[in-house]
Structure 1
Amino acid sequence: MKSNIEVLSTVNITSTPDLYKIVDSLNRTLKERDVMFGLALDEKDKNKMVFTIYQT
């Protein structure tokens, strides 16, 4: 099984408690369009998150 995941966009944003809900909603709504969204804590600044859009 070969996986071709391409990063389309990455942006650093200020962390908020409910941010993961937006990412979850995007993933559930747009999974049929071959896009995926990710959210991770910024390793350099713990008050920031890294939001990434992937083409799957």
Structure 2
Amino acid sequence: MDKKIETLSTVRIKHTNDLYKIVDSLNRTLKEDDLMFGLALDEEDNEKAIFTIYRT
């Protein structure tokens, strides 16, 4: 069975060293609600991060 991942929201925010801890906590807490959270550095601006919310 193929599950499709749907992007619900994407936002660019200031990057901080501990930001991944929030994303990790959200993923652990809300995975049973079919939500997944992603974090990536903005390729155009290394001081920004891209935070994305997905429905799985």
TM-score, scaled relative to structure 1: 0.96
Structure 2: state its 5+ residue gaps.
Answer: none
Structure 1: state its 5+ residue gaps.
Answer: none
Structure-1 residue corresponding to 2:24 = 24
Q: Per-residue displacement from partner, 1:1-56 (whole Å, max 9, x unpaired)?
A: 41300000000000001000000000000000000000000000000000000000
Q: Secondary structure at the match of 1:32?
A: helix
* In structure 2, distance between residues paired with 1:30 and 1:10: 17
Q: Secondary structure at the match of 1:40?
A: strand
| RMSD, matched Cα | 0.7
* In structure 2, distance between residues paired with 1:3 and 1:20: 25
Would you say how many aligned residue pairs link Structure 1 and Structure 2?
A: 56
TM-score, scaled relative to structure 2: 0.96
Structure-2 residue corresponding to 1:37 = 37
Stretches of 4+ moved more than 4 A in 1? none
